[in-house]
Amino acid sequence: MQPKRELTFTEGARRAQIVKAAIETIAEVGYGGASFARIAKRAGLSSPGLISYHFADKDELIGEVVANVYGTGSEQIRLRADHPMSSAAALLAFVEGSVAFYDSHRVHMRALVQIIHGYPQARERWVDRANDAELDGIEQVLTRGQRDGEFRDDFVPRVVAVLIRDQLSGALQRLLTTPDLDVASYTRELVTFCRLAVENRDTSRSSDV
């Protein structure tokens, strides 16, 4: 098998242009309605055939779209168990940062939701692996917090990681369906909700004395 050659600057720029147009088109008309013709028109391309030059088929393009959405998110929201800040600070910054990213990248997130709903294989092919990696990160921070006494020790980290992930999924759905949502208040209460769910009350009381 021949190694994949590196893209030229021009090719990389054109691919990025197509991916951006695909994200915007899918967000607007859904996965099923996002034809190469529509994407090419939004991208300002003279022919849909120019998309086929850079992407073998719609499958490859959609995979690149999903990778772009998750890649953009991970650049702005990174949850690391080895971060020098406390586990509580790391966890709550992740929750707050996630909602902020959803809010500032609504088109990206709407496109991702449209792909998941419109293409049943998307979860298995691209989405589940990324979500599992995120869950692993949350679990590691929760485990570290329990070990250091920041968090109560009577919960299963993976279960609580899933619950936090579910709360964030709900926040995304709320953002996408409620244009006039008070994002600041919603975020503040969600962060408080997550903090109260995991904090070690004995430690927090003693620190207040």
Give me the CATH number covering residue 145: 1.10.357.10
Cβ atoms within 10 Å, residue 176: 15
Residue 111 lies in a domain: yes
Q: What percent of the chain has pLDDT over 70?
A: 91
What the block records as the tokens of 55 is 């992407």
45-51 long-range contacts (CB < 8 A, ≥24 apart) are 45/18, 50/14, 51/18
pLDDT tens per residue across span 115-134 = 999 998 999 999 999 999 99
> Between 162 and 81, whose confidence is greater?
162
> Is there a domain that residue 130 lies in?
yes
In the chain, the amino acid numbered 79 is L
Residue 108 lies in a domain: yes
pLDDT given for residue 209 in this prediction: 39
Pseudo-torsion of CA 184, 189, 193, 199, nearest 10°?
A: 80
> How many structural domains comprise the chain?
1
* Cα 103 to Cα 29: distance, rounded to the nearest angstrom: 20
| In contact, 198 and 146? CB cutoff 8 Å | no
Q: pLDDT digit string (tens) for 19-43? A: 999 999 999 999 999 999 999 999 9
Q: What is the pLDDT of residue 202?
A: 81
- Say if 2 falls within a structural domain: no
Of the pLDDT bands very low, low, confident and very high (cuts 50, 70, 90), residue 159 is very high
Q: Examine the pLDDT at 80 and tell me if it is beyond 70.
A: no
176 found inside a domain: yes
**Domain range for 118:** 9-208
Residue 100 lies in a domain: yes
**Mean pLDDT, residues 137-151 taken together:** 96
Percent of the chain with pLDDT over 90: 79
What is the residue-averaged pLDDT of the chain?
A: 90
Assigned domain for 191 exists: yes
pLDDT (tens digit, 9 = 90+) per residue, 39-55?
999 999 999 899 998 89
The answer on pLDDT for 69 being more than 90 is yes
Residue 51 is predicted with a pLDDT of: 94
Q: How far apart are alpha carbons 134 and 73 in whole angstroms?
A: 11
In a domain, 69, yes or no: yes
Question: What are the C-alpha distances in Å from 156 to residues 32, 83, 88, 161, 176?
Answer: 40, 21, 16, 9, 31
